[in-house]
Amino acid sequence: MKLEPLIKDCMYHIYNRGINGGNIFITDENKMYFLNLVNKHLTNSSSLFAYCLMNNHFHFLLRIDSDGEKVTQDLSNLFNAYAKAFNKANNRTGSLFEKHFKRIRIDDENYLRQLIVYIHLNPYHHFDANFATFKYSSYNSILSNKETKLKRGEVIELFGDLDNYIFEHKTKKEILEQKFTLE
């Protein structure tokens, strides 16, 4: 299968999961290490707008700021470095992630906003956790005034302002709650 190349100045939903749906994160330390590797490998070649790390998968929303082949290599280096450390720490061998990371190019601003909300609501969707207090998503980093590599200002601008950012997340969660109640 030929994968779509990453293109400079384009936005992508990048995601992957553990091989056979297995966990890629077991501890909080795993997640923190992965985020540190994200900073190390991606901040010079792409811009991070949103992320969420679940036990068996992850989501990123990235803008490609360099040559797409370079970013693809940076992502590969990130995943390889993490897999080697995870395997060593857990006395395992072999692939950790499914073969290729998935990528969806985002061309529509409305879809981009919906995707940010979708990424942040993953903890609620997958295990009914409170997305607003979930430690391993960018939701609270957008709300915070702490220093971050995230494109906080650009995310808030997409929603108009911080109040609408919060409103859109809560509204989508309420819609999901109603859907689950009706089923």
> Greater confidence, 39 or 178?
39
Q: What is the pLDDT of residue 122?
A: 93
Q: What percent of the chain has pLDDT over 90?
A: 83
Among 36, 35, 15, CA closest to 119: 15
pTM of model > 0.85: yes
How wide is the angle at C-alpha 10 spanned by C-alphas 9 and 13, nearest 5°?
140
103-116 confidence digits (pLDDT tens): 999 999 999 999 99
Task: Pick the closest to residue 175 from 138, 124, 135 (CA basis).
Answer: 124
What is the C-alpha to C-alpha distance for residues 136 and 33, in angstroms, rounded to an integer?
12
Confidence at residue 179, expressed as pLDDT on a 0 to 100 scale: 58
